[in-house]
Amino acid sequence: MKNLKYMSLVLALLCVVSLGFTSCGDDDDDDDIAAPTIVMGEANLEDGEICVKADVAAPGRTASIQIVVTDASGNTTKVTKNVTDSKYIGVLNIPDFHLHVDIADKGVVAGDLLKFTVTDGNGRSTTAQKSITEEEDDD
């Protein structure tokens, strides 16, 4: 009887010890993977195009990237561009994302908003936005 009590106590202790150690290895859980982060660079008007630049980090890997241009109030959508370039999809980071989006005849003007959305493989999305400016003269 005494042995049985002792064994139960030891088994309980074993469980606690095992849980303590194995919890360290749970970093891969989807719940622990941070949402994408975006640092917007340029959103400049250039001859019927917008030059879009950004730096992206996506610990859950990029699954889709969408660029939307709206009026300054954000209510009217003028352009929607889904980025499908394979170099930008399925990656953990995008240093110096650079894309020219065609806006010919779309009525886009300086002051409109560019919204840059990155969704990762776990379905987590982050949107950064930047006011569209005329091309800089000195860069």
Residues near another protein (CB under 8 A) are 3, 6-7, 10, 13-14, 17-18, 21-22, 24-25, 27-28, 46-47, 51, 55, 61, 85-87, 90-96, 98, 135, 139
- Residue 71 C-beta: closest distance to another protein, Å: 26
CA distances from 102 to 54, 69, 70, 76 (A): 17, 11, 14, 18
Enumerate the β-bridge partners of residue 117.
Answer: 66, 127
Question: Letter for the amino acid at 64?
Answer: S
- Taking alpha carbons only, the member of 7, 27, 120 closest to residue 65 is 120
Judged by beta carbon, residue 37 or residue 71, the one nearer another protein is: 37
Judged by beta carbon, residue 62 or residue 70, the one nearer another protein is: 62
